Amino acid sequence: SNERLHQDLAALGALDGLDFRTAPAPAGGVRDTVIFSKNPMTEIDSGLSEQDTGWFAMPTVEIEVAQQRVLVAGVHVYPPLNDAKQWRKGLSAMDTWVHEHPQSPMILAGDFNSTTGHRLYRDAVAGFTEASGLLPQSTWPQTMLPFPVLEIDHILGRGVRFAQTRTTPVTG
């Protein structure tokens, strides 16, 4: 993502009520993911830098929800189509971060470039609940077919319950 995209989404009303956010994604920079929230949050250093992931850094925050501190990671893992080593490195970095916080309620959300058919993905998110439930919310590919057929974007939680999730197409 980039700041121009965020401005366009805001103009379309897609960010209404999300008054808090992490630092901007620098153009051509080392991070392309931003976390938006309706609750105040504090950005934390996570060990998910571009060196750790082999691609983009993943922002992490602490958010207080229902009197509980929840860690949230904005995930974007390199796609395994051209370089599975980089994909593995990103999932492994995320797995390490998760295991460094074994007691913390946690949400992992974003583009994992993985389906539940990938063993490495399943291993990295063991103990997490998929917000979409038993039926996947397909998100990829967006443009090659009449509709997406694979769920590579996920919202996962540990120690939290999801009240609602949805995929919302934004025209334009």
Q: How far is CA 78 from CA 57, 105, 125, in A?
A: 11, 25, 16
Does the predicted TM-score (pTM) go above 0.85? yes
Nearest residue to 113 (alpha-carbon basis) of 101, 123, 121: 121
- pLDDT in tens for each of the 172 residues of the chain? 678 888 888 998 889 999 999 988 776 667 788 999 999 999 998 889 999 998 989 999 999 988 899 999 999 999 988 779 999 999 999 999 999 999 999 999 999 999 988 999 999 999 999 998 777 788 777 777 777 788 899 999 999 999 888 777 777 6
∠ CA 135-144-171, rounded to 5°: 80
∠ CA 139-69-106, rounded to 5°: 35
Alpha carbons 159 and 102: distance in angstroms, whole number: 10
Cβ(36)–Cβ(18) under 8 Å?
Answer: yes
Structure tokens at 1: 């993502």
